[in-house]
A and B are shown apart, each in its own frame.
Chain A
C-alpha cells in the first residue's frame, strides 16, 4: 500500500501568531512536514502547544501568518474564496468535542446533509437522492437509520462523534484533520471510534492528520509522528523509530509518562522541573530550555532547526549526539 508514496500535503514554514495585549503569541512557529497519501501523521504535544491551531491553520480556518501549505502540489494559501470553497471538499476536519461541534438545531440527517447542500452537490429538490446519500453515510459510520430525525443532544458522545465523522466524510474528502477526535469520549467508545476511523481510512484511502495528546493512540494509529512543544516541532520520525529511539529530551519525557498497566513494571518517569516558557514573544533559542534536564548555554543558540539524525528522523536539539542525552534509553 505504501509503495508508491505520493505526497498529498506539504507544509513549509507555517506560522500562526496571535495578537494579544501582552504581545505576539507564537502559537505555531515555523512548522515543516509532509504527509503521503493514505498515511496518518500523528501530532502530539501537551495542551496549548499549538497542535489544534496548526490543524486549523492548514485548513485556513485560522489564516496563517506566514508559510506555505501545498495540497496536491499547489499552495492553497494563495487560493481565493471560490477556489478555497471548492478545495474544502477535499480537506475536512473532525473536532474534539462532539458536544460542541454539532449545531443543536439541526437533526442528524440535516447535519450530515448540510455540507453537501452548502457545496451544492445536491439541490434541495433532490430530496430523495440526498436522503439516500445521508443513509449511506450513516451506515458507513455505524449510525442506525432510525436516528435520522434525532437531535444531537439526544445522543451519547460516541454517536455524536460518528455524526461528526459522517459530516466530514459527506464531501468525499481526501484529507481529514482529526483534532483530538477521541479525547472527549469514554475509553470503551474511544476504541470503537478509532477502529471506525481506521476502517474508513482503509476503505476510502483517506489521509489523516491525527492531533492528540494520547501517545498510546498515535502509536496504534500513525505512520509518522510529529512532537510539538510550544508551537515548534521538536521531533519528527516514523512511529516505530520514535518510540524506540526518542532523541529529544522532551520526547523522552513524554514517552516515559505513558502509563504501563503492570504494577511491577519499574516506572522511570522523567519528571520535568521548571516552568513552561511563555509563548508570548518567546526568547530565541530552544523553547524547552527552562525545563530541559540537559540544558546548557549552547541551547540558547537561536538557530536551532530540525536536523536529520537518521533517515526520516528529524530532531531539533542543540545537543544531539551528546552521550548524556541518550543514556536514558
Chain B
C-alpha cells in the first residue's frame, strides 16, 4: 500500500515554483510585450557590441559618429528611416548604438545599489533595534539629498567618467532599496512560518535565504524594474545636462539634449530618442508589474 503511494506521488508531475511563475507570466499579454521589447533591446545592445568587435569599430567610426554636414537634419526617408541628425549622422544607427549605454548602465547601477541597499535593508529589517536605527538614519541622510543633485555632485567632484556616473546613480538609489527590502523583511520575519522554522532549529542563514527572502521578493523585484527605469532616466538626465555620456558617443539623453534646439524644424531628432526612453521605461514597468503578479503563489489559478 505504502509502495503504491510512493510511485503514485512520483507520477504526479512536479512543477517548480519558477516554472509556475513563468506559466502565469506568459498569460499576461502586456507584460509579454514589454518583455519582448526588452529582449530586443538586449539583442541590439549585444549585437552592436559584437558588430564593433568584428568590424573593428568600422561602422561605429564611419556611420555612427562621422559627421556629414551636407545631409544635416534630413527628415526620415527610405534610405534613412529615422532621418539624419544635426550633424548628418544616421539616427537609426545612433539609436541602436545608444541602447547599450542606457540599458547596461541602468542595469549595472541598479545591481550596485540593489546589492548594497539590499544587504543594508536586510540587516536592518532582520536584526532590528540598534542595527536598524543606525543603518536607517544613515539612509535618511542619503535620502535627504536630492538624488539628482547627489549624482551631479559626485560627477562634478570626480570628473565625468562612466564609472563615476554609475557610482553616482548607484549610490543615490541605495536608500530606496534599503527601505523596500527592510519593510518587506520586517513583514515576513514575524510570520509564524518563520517561527516554525526557528522552532525546528534553522539558523539565521537558512531563515533569511530560504524563508524570508523568497517571500519578501515580490516588492524587491518590482522595485528593481522600476529602479532600472529610473536609473535609465537619471543617466539620460545627466547626459542631457552634459555630465553623463559625452558626445560624440550616442546616448539617448545627450541626443535629446543636443537635438532640442532644432525641435521646431526637425521634430524627428527629438521625438525619436524621447520615444526610445519612454518605451524602454514603459516596458520595464509593465514587466515589473507582470513579475509581481506572477511571483505571488497566492494569485495562482
Residues of A within 8 A of B202 (CB): 114, 118
The residues in B between 3 and 29 inclusive whose CB is less than 8 angstroms from any CB of A are 5-6, 8-9, 12-15, 17
Proximity bits, B188-208, A CB within 8 Å = 1, else 0: 000111011111111100100
Please name the residue on chain B nearest to A82 by beta carbon. B201
- Whether the pair B6, A131 counts as a contact (CB closer than 8 A) is yes
Tell me if B298 counts as interface (CB < 8 A to partner A).
yes
Tell me if B80 counts as interface (CB < 8 A to partner A).
no
Please name the residue on chain A nearest to B207 by beta carbon. A118
CB distance from B49 to the nearest CB of A (A): 37
Residues of A within 8 A of B2 (CB): 132, 135-136, 139
- Whether the pair B298, A153 counts as a contact (CB closer than 8 A) is yes
- Determine the distance from Cα of A131 to Cα of B197 in the docked complex, in whole angstroms: 19
- The tally of residues in A whose CB lies under 8 Å from a CB in B reads 40
- Determine the distance from Cα of A52 to Cα of B199 in the docked complex, in whole angstroms: 14
CB distance from A116 to the nearest CB of B (A): 9
- Whether the pair A95, B196 counts as a contact (CB closer than 8 A) is yes
- Determine the distance from Cα of A224 to Cα of B2 in the docked complex, in whole angstroms: 38
- Determine the distance from Cα of A139 to Cα of B1 in the docked complex, in whole angstroms: 11
Tell me if B211 counts as interface (CB < 8 A to partner A).
yes
Tell me if B247 counts as interface (CB < 8 A to partner A).
no
- Determine the distance from Cα of A154 to Cα of B196 in the docked complex, in whole angstroms: 20
Please name the residue on chain B nearest to A102 by beta carbon. B193
- Whether the pair B200, A101 counts as a contact (CB closer than 8 A) is no
Residues of B within 8 A of A211 (CB): none
CB distance from A96 to the nearest CB of B (A): 8
Proximity bits, A148-184, B CB within 8 Å = 1, else 0: 1101011000000000100100010000000000000
Most buried by A among B14, B202, B214: B202
- Determine the distance from Cα of A93 to Cα of B195 in the docked complex, in whole angstroms: 10
- Whether the pair B199, A151 counts as a contact (CB closer than 8 A) is no
Tell me if B300 counts as interface (CB < 8 A to partner A).
yes
Tell me if A251 counts as interface (CB < 8 A to partner B).
no
Most buried by B among A59, A115, A119: A115
CB distance from A108 to the nearest CB of B (A): 10
- Whether the pair B191, A100 counts as a contact (CB closer than 8 A) is yes
- Whether the pair B5, A115 counts as a contact (CB closer than 8 A) is no
Please name the residue on chain A nearest to B5 by beta carbon. A145
Please name the residue on chain B nearest to A59 by beta carbon. B199
Contact A153 B300, CB 8 Å, known A100-B192, A131-B9, A148-B9: yes
Tell me if B249 counts as interface (CB < 8 A to partner A).
no
Please name the residue on chain B nearest to A93 by beta carbon. B199
Tell me if B215 counts as interface (CB < 8 A to partner A).
yes
- Whether the pair A151, B297 counts as a contact (CB closer than 8 A) is yes
Residues of A within 8 A of B191 (CB): 100
CB distance from B237 to the nearest CB of A (A): 38
Proximity bits, A250-277, B CB within 8 Å = 1, else 0: 0000000000000000000000000000
- Determine the distance from Cα of A107 to Cα of B20 in the docked complex, in whole angstroms: 12
The tally of CB-CB contacts under 8 A between chains A and B is: 93
- Determine the distance from Cα of A73 to Cα of B67 in the docked complex, in whole angstroms: 88
Majority DSSP secondary structure for residues of B touching A:
helix
- Determine the distance from Cα of A154 to Cα of B201 in the docked complex, in whole angstroms: 27
Question: B215 touches which one: A103, A107, A119, A167 (CB < 8 A)?
Answer: A103
- Determine the distance from Cα of A114 to Cα of B197 in the docked complex, in whole angstroms: 8
Most buried by B among A104, A109, A146: A104
Question: A148 touches which one: B12, B199, B206, B210 (CB < 8 A)?
Answer: B12
- Determine the distance from Cα of A96 to Cα of B193 in the docked complex, in whole angstroms: 11
- Whether the pair A145, B200 counts as a contact (CB closer than 8 A) is no
Residues of B within 8 A of A103 (CB): 193, 197, 211, 215
- Whether the pair B12, A132 counts as a contact (CB closer than 8 A) is no
Tell me if A187 counts as interface (CB < 8 A to partner B).
no
Residues of A within 8 A of B300 (CB): 151, 153-154
- Whether the pair A149, B215 counts as a contact (CB closer than 8 A) is no
- Determine the distance from Cα of A171 to Cα of B6 in the docked complex, in whole angstroms: 21
Residues of B within 8 A of A171 (CB): 200
- Whether the pair B15, A149 counts as a contact (CB closer than 8 A) is yes
- Determine the distance from Cα of A139 to Cα of B8 in the docked complex, in whole angstroms: 14
Most buried by B among A59, A88, A114: A114
Contact A118 B206, CB 8 Å, known A100-B192, A131-B9: yes
Residues of A within 8 A of B197 (CB): 103, 114, 118
- Whether the pair B15, A88 counts as a contact (CB closer than 8 A) is no
Please name the residue on chain A nearest to B10 by beta carbon. A131
Question: B17 touches which one: A61, A105, A135 (CB < 8 A)?
Answer: A105
CB distance from A191 to the nearest CB of B (A): 23
Residues of A within 8 A of B193 (CB): 100-104
- Whether the pair B195, A92 counts as a contact (CB closer than 8 A) is no
The residues in A between 34 and 67 inclusive whose CB is less than 8 angstroms from any CB of B are 56, 59, 61
Contact A104 B297, CB 8 Å, known A93-B199, A119-B200: yes
- Whether the pair A95, B206 counts as a contact (CB closer than 8 A) is no
Question: B199 touches which one: A88, A96, A131, A136 (CB < 8 A)?
Answer: A88
- Whether the pair B297, A95 counts as a contact (CB closer than 8 A) is no
CB distance from B250 to the nearest CB of A (A): 43
Question: A97 touches which one: B5, B12, B192, B298 (CB < 8 A)?
Answer: B192
Apart from A146-B9, A153-B300, list 8 A-B contacts with CB within 8 A.
Answer: A88-B201, A93-B196, A95-B195, A115-B200, A115-B201, A118-B206, A145-B5, A148-B12
A and B contact pairs by CB, cutoff 8 A, 26 listed: A61-B195, A61-B198, A85-B203, A88-B201, A89-B201, A92-B199, A92-B200, A93-B196, A93-B199, A96-B192, A97-B192, A101-B195, A105-B214, A107-B14, A109-B9, A114-B197, A114-B200, A118-B206, A119-B201, A135-B2, A135-B5, A149-B14, A151-B300, A153-B300, A167-B196, A167-B200
Name A's B-contacting residues (CB within 8 A).
56, 59, 61, 84-86, 88-89, 92-93, 95-97, 100-105, 107, 109, 114-115, 118-119, 131-132, 135-136, 139, 145-146, 148-149, 151, 153-154, 164, 167, 171
